[in-house]
Each structure stands twice: as structure tokens, then as C-alpha cells.
Amino acid sequence: MISKIPSKILGLLVLLMTITIAAYAFLQISDPVAYFVSAILFFGGVIISYQVAASAGFDAALSHFRDVIIGSTHIGLTSIKKLSETPPEKLARKTKSSFRFLGISGDKFLKETLEKVEFFRRNKNPKLVKIMLMDPFSDEVDRLSSNKKQQIEFRNKIISTICTLQKLRDEGCHFEVRLYPKRPPLRLLIIDDNTTALSVYEADSSGWKNAQLLFEGKDNDDSLAPYFVETFDDLWERGLNVSLEQRSVALGTFVQPLRNVSKAKLGMVHGRFQPFHHEHFEYVLSGIGSAEKCLIGITQPNIKCVSECEILPHRGTSEGNPYTYEDRKRMIALSLERWGVKPEEYEIVPFEIDNAELAIPELKAVHGEDIIHFMRIFSDWELHKKQLLESYGMKVSVFDTKLSDFMIKNVTGTLVRELVNSRRNWKDFVPYGTRQVIGAIEKRIAQ
């Protein structure tokens, strides 16, 4: 085949190869393998293109390329570029009516976009801007990289974005946020239901080297852009609702303690944890991040002898208390261990708040008087507990939400128990330790 190529073409190829080698030596290319593979493919393409044109004729070759271009236009494909060549913030400047983003963290991109693009500064309708990030509690974070240090960096980037989004919301930006419980199958950026940037995630990759497909819907019925909108909306429905305010404070405090705010020497959080789910985990992490050491109190420790509760009747039922003290202790300990929390930073203890007249004096006798009890107020039951703790002289620090008197619950123990009992998807709502413990219990029952 090469023998049929005119000497002029061969001479040109030799010249191009010489220039390629010289450029490599002069520019000190950091990735020589990729550089030379790209060059070889390019030269191969030149030879093949010449052969096609020579054998089929110039008009036939031109017709072929025209068909390719028209075919791409029919499906709305406008270009294929690296993310680094067409950065998301550049595409986001086109936004005029709506914006959807699905990604792992998008930490720098989202901040740049929401702060500087005119549409986001003037938009007052949260439903027009939908942002879906990977859930930092998901075990899939560990699969983003084989490097443990990088896994932590990925998780902290997601947390950093959550904190940034809350800050931007405080400054007046309007948008909705959900967390995807697994690694997103695609990275999607959809602008005005038409311009769509699509790329695929790879392990151990920041994504910037990946190919990005750009689609524009225009008025073409065959464009793929609307189908990516449907894909996003389907994934959005499977996403997890969270309170951005609550999660940003809890995880932000844990990852990077607040400046100029001294930690309590001994703090405490408590709950039934039936079972221990993500919002419990969020609460526990906020307590650990706010104290040099944090006591984690498990209430109703003896499930064979639970106390009745007029305010929350299900607290006193066997159905509402399926997991033993040891089960719950292990759920918490395994989850904290997985997150890299050191054992000396916390202690798990039984805490019979239903028998406060005995439990609180005993707690003080063992751990001292200077315990700061961190609380979240969801209902009248938490208000009752706050008054009870204070009546026995305990210091109470309440998370003060800006939105309402009561905090929002997106996940409840009741919901998770119902999902477990009906064998539906409960694993997306609980951390690693809970999945391990409930999985072991189910395995024992099956045997």
C-alpha cells in the first residue's frame, strides 16, 4: 500500500515525523506515550484518507465525509472535545432559561458558575437550576480511586462543594440540590434543555482528560439532547433529598473545624439509632467535629424493656426497636472507622434518657459535670428532651436552623425499617456499618 503513495506524500510524512520528534524534544512533553500514539494515529489517518480518496475518487470521499457530518448534525452532535478544551464554566455562560448538572463534586466549576454567570445571579426560581452531586456517604467514593488518600480527597471535595453551595444560597442564589447514592453513571451538563455536555467517568481520573460530547437540540427532532434531559430527570428522581444547611454545617465542621471557635472538651450526642442512618451519621460527625472527645449515647439500650412514650408512641414498641444495643454500637463504630475517625475521639455509651433521674446523675458521676450536649430539634419530642436535660443541670447546645423552628428530616428510622422489612432498597440510606450489621443479621436469619 505504501509503495503506491507518491514520493511527495512520503516526503511530507517524513518531514512531519521529523517535526514531531523535534517538537517532543523541544517542548519536553510530559506524556510521551500519548503524544506519539496520537502522532502515529494522525499519520495513519493521512495515509488511509489518501487511499480512500485515490481508490474511490475525490467526489466519493467528499460524499462520505458529508454523510458523517450530516449524520452527526441529525443527532445534535456538534463536537467532541476534552473537558480541558471546553471547560464547563465556559459552556455555563450560555445559560438563559435552565441548568442541570450531574457530577461527583464540580467544586470549582459550580462556584465559578453560580457566582459569575448573569443568569444565576438574577434567577429567583430554584426549580430552574438542579444540581446533583455524589453522596459523600456512599461507599462508591472508595471506588473512585485505588489510592486511600485520593479517596479522602474525593470525599472532601464533595463536602467542600456542599459547603460552598450553602454559602452561595445564603448569598441569594436559588437552586435545588440532591445527592446521588452511587457514583454517577455519566457526567452531564444540560443548558436550556438543548446544549448538553456528556462525558464518562473513569477510575483514578479527574475527568479533565476524558472526551466530552457536545450536543445541541436546535429544532431537530432526531437530536439526542432531549434524551439526555430525560436521563437526568430520571436520575434526579432517584436522588436523595438532603437539608443542605444541616449537612454543610455537620460535615464542614467535621472536615475543617470552624476557625476561632474553640472545641468543647467533652461533648455528647444521643439517639435510639434504630437503625443508624445517614442523618444520624451526620449528627454524630458534627458532634465529633465540635468536641475534643464526643460521647455517643444510645437510648433505649435494653430493647426487651423499652419505656412507653406518649409524645412518640412507636418508641415504646418492639417493632420500633428491632436492633440490640450491641448491634447499634457496632453500626456506629464500623461507620466511624470506615471514615477514619480515631477511637480516642469518641466513646459509645448506653444512655437511658427515658429514666433521666438515674441516667443523668450516673453520666455525670462517670464523665464529670462539664459535658456539652449537642442537640437537633425536629419536633416536640426533642424540645421535651432539651428541657429534661437542662432541668438536671446539663449544658445544651442546639443547632440553630435559619429556615424554621424545627429541622428537616429527610431520612427516618421508621422509613429504613419499613424498607428493610419489605426487602426494598434500604442500603442507600444507611452508612457502611449499618449495612454490615443488618446484612449479617439477614444472613443469620436466612440460614
Question: Are 68 and 93 part of one and the same domain?
Answer: no
Dihedrals phi, psi of 350, to nearest 5 degrees? -70, 145
Q: Is 152 exposed, middle or buried (0-12, 13-18, 19+ CB in 10 A)?
A: middle
Which strands make up the sheet holding 346-350, listed edge to edge?
A: 346-350, 291-298, 264-271, 372-375, 395-398
In a domain, 326, yes or no: yes
Amino acid at 265: K
Question: Are 263 and 236 part of one and the same domain?
Answer: no
- Per-residue model confidence (pLDDT) at position 42: 66
Which strands make up the sheet holding 240-241, listed edge to edge?
A: 77-82, 211-215, 195-199, 187-191, 99-102, 129-134, 176-180, 240-241
Dihedrals phi, psi of 270, to nearest 5 degrees? -155, 160
Q: Which of 241, 268, 303 is the last residue of a domain?
A: 241
CA dist 310 and 307 (Å) reads 10
In a domain, 248, yes or no: no
In a domain, 246, yes or no: no
Q: Which residues of the chain have pLDDT under 70?
A: 1-13, 15-16, 23-39, 41-74, 202-209, 218-219, 257-261, 309-314, 316, 401-406
Residue 282 sits in a domain of what CATH number? 3.40.50.620
CA atoms within 13 A on the CB side of 318: 2
Question: Are 97 and 223 part of one and the same domain?
Answer: yes
In a domain, 298, yes or no: yes
Question: Are 105 and 47 part of one and the same domain?
Answer: no
Question: Are 145 and 64 part of one and the same domain?
Answer: no
Question: Are 137 and 271 part of one and the same domain?
Answer: no
Of the candidates 272, 279, 273, the residue with the CA atom closest to the CA atom of residue 309: 272
Dihedrals phi, psi of 268, to nearest 5 degrees? -150, 140
CA dist 412 and 385 (Å) reads 18
Q: For the packed helices 325-338 and 432-446, what is the interaxial angle rounded to 10 degrees? A: 130
Amino acid at 136: P
Question: Are 282 and 431 part of one and the same domain?
Answer: yes
DSSP label at 345?
G
In a domain, 272, yes or no: yes
CB neighbourhood size of 377 (10 A): 18
- Per-residue model confidence (pLDDT) at position 288: 92
Question: Are 218 and 97 part of one and the same domain?
Answer: yes
Range(s) of the domain holding residue 136: 88-241
Q: Which of 11, 39, 74 is the last residue of a domain?
A: 74
Q: Which of 41, 74, 107 is the last residue of a domain?
A: 74
Q: Is 172 exposed, middle or buried (0-12, 13-18, 19+ CB in 10 A)?
A: exposed
In a domain, 247, yes or no: no
Contact criterion met (CB below 8 Å) for 265 and 420: no
In a domain, 38, yes or no: yes
Q: Is 192 exposed, middle or buried (0-12, 13-18, 19+ CB in 10 A)?
A: middle
Residue 204 sits in a domain of what CATH number? 3.30.870.10
In a domain, 315, yes or no: yes
Question: Are 95 and 9 part of one and the same domain?
Answer: no
Question: Are 393 and 323 part of one and the same domain?
Answer: yes
Question: Are 178 and 32 part of one and the same domain?
Answer: no
Q: Domain count of the chain?
A: 3
Amino acid at 154: F
Question: Are 23 and 139 part of one and the same domain?
Answer: no
